[in-house]
Amino acid sequence: MKYIDEYRDAAAARALAEEIRRITKRSWTIMEICGGQTHAIVKFGLDQLLPPEITLVHGPGCPVCVTPVETLDAACTIAARPEVIFCSFGDMLRVPGSAVDLLRVKAQSGDVRIVYSPTDAVAIARANPDRQVVFFGVGFETTAPANAMAVYAAAQERLDNFSILVSQVTVPPAMIAILSAPHNRVQGFLAAGHVCTVMGFWEYEPIARRFRVPIVVTGFEPIDLLEGILMCVRQLEAGRSDVENQYARAVSQGGNQPAQQLLREVFEIADRNWRGIGVIPRSGLRLREKYRSYDAEQRFAIATAAVARETECISGLVLQGIKKPHECPAFGTRCTPEQPLGATMVSSEGACAAYFRYRGRIASK
């Protein structure tokens, strides 16, 4: 199968792993940003192929995992209203808020519907003019253009019964926060290829220079990831800190300019709270004043405030690369996909979900 089999070739993977082993002279810690990359690494056992000097840690690049509790609470409050059709991607339904999740709201007669695109929610609004239709807009730069398009389309059609609960975050400020933390141990990054298909990689170049860390834009298949690790280790061993692009078949430096233009039309930069991490300045997107009437928080007068939630979940440490999932005392016992303590166990891109699914309770590298 073209574009699949060639990136899962076992002999090529072993050759790349051997080259990484040959050039590695010191210990290095590398973070993959994206939860999709984490799942590929764990699923295919790529970390098991690496020399013991290379440690992979997992980053905050899972949109479900970083959506804050107070936003989940706002979603549940809105979804419980009888006049509302609440639309969301399916993996948000079981993420715990402070009291309930969207699945429980649905079970208690809330009209919660799973959609596969933000424009599906616009279509539902068009077909139900007597109901309020709300889309749960979470995610990174990868999903932001589609969410922006939904708002833009609703505005063009004057669909006054459509709104969006925005929880959009952006990757570069999170990388800066991780590198600026006193407990940081990340020495190199694998940047998420799909984010870079939209935004390019020009935003990463000042970060690489400022913190002197190599950043390699990387795809999601085993060969992509091993090539990205090899490129990163080569830089580390040579004392370089450049931005390199392993995913050239999909990513250019400037990215998708029409998508970026649409983002600038609909959204503006704002501070955002990240679940388990806290507020990261200028790390999110909110609707511009021109489109503020499509803001679900404003339409339903929802005031979100930070929620202090007692839990033994260490997902915030996992998302910052400080701990690994199996280092949590609740992993696989008091925290499972059926009864998650945190979003990283229930999300399809969560690091804890990857370890539980592919390795159970076996300690990993």
Kindly report the average pLDDT of the chain as a whole number: 93
pLDDT at 55: 96
Output the six-digit token pair for 265.
Answer: 């039309």
How many whole angstroms separate alpha carbon 84 and alpha carbon 134? 7
| pLDDT score at 362 | 52
Summarised one tens digit per residue, pLDDT across range 68-108 is 999 999 999 999 999 999 999 998 998 888 889 999 999 99
Q: Would you state the pLDDT for residue 91? A: 86
Q: How far apart are CA 25 and CA 49, in angstroms?
A: 16
Whole-number Å distance between alpha carbons of 28 and 20: 12
Q: What are phi and psi of 50, to 5 degrees?
A: -80, 155
Read off the pTM.
Answer: 0.91
The answer to whether 354 touches 361, Cβ cutoff 8 Å, is no
Give pLDDT tens digits for 24-49. 999 999 999 999 999 999 999 999 99
Residue 2: pLDDT over 70? no
Q: Which residues pair with 169 in a beta bridge?
A: 284
pLDDT, tens digit (0-9, with 9 covering 90-100), for 52-66: 999 999 999 998 899
pLDDT (average), residues 255-267: 97
Alpha-helical runs (H) found in the chain: 10-23, 35-43, 46-49, 63-66, 69-79, 102-107, 118-127, 144-157, 171-180, 193-199, 204-211, 222-238, 257-266, 296-299, 315-319, 343-346, 351-359
The confidence score (pLDDT) of residue 209 equals 97
The answer to whether 172 and 13 are in contact (CB under 8 A) is no
Burial (CB count within 10 angstroms: exposed 0-12, middle 13-18, buried 19+), residue 68: buried
CA distances in angstroms from 85 to 76, 82, 94, 138, listed in the order given? 12, 8, 18, 17
CA angle 203, 209, 210 (to 5 degrees): 95
Neighbour tally for 357: CB within 10 Å:
14
One-letter amino acid for residue 52 of the chain? P
Of 178, 175, 223, the closest CA to residue 195 belongs to 175
47: amino acid identity, one letter = D
pLDDT for residue 358: 92
